């Protein structure tokens, strides 16, 4: 059973698509206008079937949903989850010439002296995995963490790194991981989008390209929500003050009746049929969306667990969306690239981890208490790591670290991944991967496997070619799996 669809031909509604993409609820309304003649498994769709109807994966999945905690900007691995005692031993000394000669010219010119971590590491849990003092709450869950210390990127810059991490390609436009999952699985909820992006105070670098559906139908793109919006409503136009709900329901019913009559005269018009579904979904979201984002419904003890902060609010919303059937929830730390610490890294990383440590620990605790961690995959990491050397600055007290892609760290918890383990390693100076390198294509292939997909068979035909998230690369890393 493979997933393979033909891309729809261009039509006059493309301009309407561009218009609808400018609004949050407009994202939902894209369902009908770009529906396919066949569903995700190549079968003929029945009349009235939504492109978001639930579909079975290739095989039984270990994970049902993903919460991706994106530390955009690139967290420093040797200050968080990959201790390097040798760096502290050689702190302040220049890099050996043998290492400098291997660096790219730009990196070589910007590399300063060796910069040991000022933060202490301690072993935690039965596994004894080391965690920095910056993450005391996360450290309590170390036996649930699968820490990968050997991630490798392609281009040491933010936009390419974000696109590679999210979409599998560092330069060309491609559908995002969340879009592929929604395309393959459909939507578990008929009242909420299946792919939600939470980013307080704006958008990350590369903006909507991080959650694009690109050549997949537009209904599969992510729905971005500014979780720190000054507006009364996190989702614009979610409710109306100028009309009572009963009256609005009657209006929708009349519109749907007219649409049905219109469609009877145009049988086989999948775009019209799916637009009818999207209007119903948008109407149902007015109730479900209001409920999902209302944190006052949570007990005081749960709100205190997450903390009264923007990241705490973000992650509590993520848990509420996850338990309501949203497939893929991506939580960015903030707009732009807050973890991009070229300068003042010591003070900045203290602030960033103080903001995020308690909410992350709370999320893991909360999911476990609710019995959700087993089938919820939590991912933590950024689009790159940081260098083990000081970035050249005039004031040493404002020292930072530069971009680094050859051996950075991410971790996963739940969703059938092995807990209490570290996979791969970097050399003693954290300059390069020493063993078990992990490409983003490998990372994606393994995630798709846990969601029930053979990454080589999850394809979409476009421009005469079968595309997939992992392109022509990728391998499932079974050593990471429980």
Out of 94-103, 118-127, 178-187, 198-207, which region has the weakest mean confidence (pLDDT)? 94-103
CA–CA distance, 278 with 272 (Å, rounded to integer): 10
Between 256 and 112, residue with greater pLDDT: 112
Q: What does the pLDDT average to over 229-251?
A: 67
Between 70 and 34, residue with greater pLDDT: 70
Q: Of 36-45, 201-210, 248-257, which one has max mean pLDDT?
A: 201-210
Sign of CA dihedral 422, 424, 425, 430: negative
pLDDT range class, residue 261, cuts 50, 70, 90: confident
Domain around 405? 55-226+264-480
pLDDT for position 245: 64
pLDDT range class, residue 240, cuts 50, 70, 90: low
CA–CA distance, 12 with 30 (Å, rounded to integer): 14
pLDDT tens per residue, range 346-363: 999 999 999 999 999 999
Between 423 and 43, residue with greater pLDDT: 423
- Residue 78 placed within a domain: yes
pLDDT at 17 over 90: no
- Residue 164 placed within a domain: yes
pLDDT at 46 over 50: no
- Residue 423 placed within a domain: yes
Question: How many domains, in total, are found in the chain?
Answer: 1
- Residue 26 placed within a domain: no
pLDDT at 338 over 90: yes
pLDDT for position 38: 41
Out of 1-5, 97-101, 227-231, 441-445, which region has the weakest mean confidence (pLDDT)? 1-5
Closest CA to 180 of 473, 446, 455, 477: 455
- Phi, psi dihedrals of residue 419, rounded to the nearest 5°: -95, 160
What is the pTM for the complete model shown?
0.85
Look up the CATH number of the domain holding residue 308. 3.40.720
- Residue 204 placed within a domain: yes
pLDDT for position 282: 67
pLDDT for position 2: 52
- Residue 31 placed within a domain: no
pLDDT at 477 over 60: yes
How many H-runs (helices) and E-runs (strands) does the chain carry? Answer: 15, 19
- Residue 272 placed within a domain: yes
pLDDT for position 242: 72
Out of 102-111, 113-122, 146-155, 325-334, which region has the weakest mean confidence (pLDDT)? 102-111
Q: At what angle do helices 310-323 and 345-369 cross, to 10 degrees?
A: 30
pLDDT tens per residue, range 383-397: 999 999 998 677 777
Between vectors from CA 474 to CA 468 and to CA 476, what angle results, nearest 5°? 115
- Residue 96 placed within a domain: yes
CA–CA distance, 347 with 94 (Å, rounded to integer): 24
């Amino acid at each position: 059973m493979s997933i393979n669809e033909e891309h729809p031909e261009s039509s006059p509604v493309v301009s309407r698509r561009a218009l609808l993409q400018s609004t949050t609820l407009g994202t939902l309304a894209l369902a009908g206008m770009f529906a396919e003649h066949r569903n995700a498994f190549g079968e003929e769709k029945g009349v009235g079937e939504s492109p978001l109807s639930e579909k079975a994966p290739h095989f039984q999945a270990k994970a049902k949903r993903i919460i991706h905690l994106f530390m955009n900007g690139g967290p420093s691995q040797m200050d968080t989850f990959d201790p390097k005692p040798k760096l502290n031993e050689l702190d302040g000394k220049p890099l050996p010439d043998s290492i400098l000669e291997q660096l790219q010219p730009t990196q070589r010119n910007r590399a300063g002296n060796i910069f040991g971590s000022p933060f202490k590491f301690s072993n935690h849990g039965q596994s004894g995995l080391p965690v920095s003092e910056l993450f005391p709450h996360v450290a309590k869950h170390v036996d649930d963490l699968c820490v990968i210390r050997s991630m490798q990127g392609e281009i040491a810059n933010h936009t390419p790194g974000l696109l590679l991490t999210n979409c599998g390609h560092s330069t060309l436009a491609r559908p995002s991981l969340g879009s592929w999952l929604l395309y393959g699985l459909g939507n578990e909820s008929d009242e909420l989008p299946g792919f939600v992006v939470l980013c307080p105070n704006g958008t990350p670098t590369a903006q909507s390209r991080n959650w694009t559906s690109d050549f997949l139908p537009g209904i599969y793109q992510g729905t971005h929500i500014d979780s720190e919006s000054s507006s009364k409503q996190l989702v614009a136009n979610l409710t109306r003050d100028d009309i009572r709900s009963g009256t609005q329901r009657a209006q929708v019913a009349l519109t749907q009746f007219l649409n049905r009559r219109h469609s009877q005269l145009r049988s086989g018009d999948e775009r019209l049929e799916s637009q009818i579904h999207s209007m119903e979904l948008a109407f149902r979201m007015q109730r479900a969306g209001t409920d999902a984002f209302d944190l006052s419904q949570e007990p005081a003890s749960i709100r205190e667990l997450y903390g009264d902060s923007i990241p705490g609010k973000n992650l509590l919303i993520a848990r509420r969306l996850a338990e309501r059937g949203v497939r893929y929830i991506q939580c960015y730390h903030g707009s732009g690239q807050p973890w991009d610490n070229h300068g003042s890294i010591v003070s900045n990383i203290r602030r960033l981890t103080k903001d995020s440590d308690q909410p992350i620990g709370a999320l893991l605790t909360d999911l476990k208490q609710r019995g959700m961690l087993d089938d919820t995959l939590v991912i933590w990491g950024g689009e790159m790591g940081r260098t083990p050397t000081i970035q050249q600055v005039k004031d040493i007290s404002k020292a930072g670290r530069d971009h680094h892609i050859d051996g950075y760290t991410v971790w996963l918890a739940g969703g059938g991944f092995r807990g209490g383990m570290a996979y791969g390693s970097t050399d003693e100076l954290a300059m390069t991967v020493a063993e078990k390198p992990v490409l983003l294509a490998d990372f994606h292939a393994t995630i798709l496997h846990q969601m029930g997909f053979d990454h080589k068979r999850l394809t979409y035909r476009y421009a005469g070619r079968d595309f997939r998230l992992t392109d022509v690369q990728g391998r499932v890393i079974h050593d990471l799996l429980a």
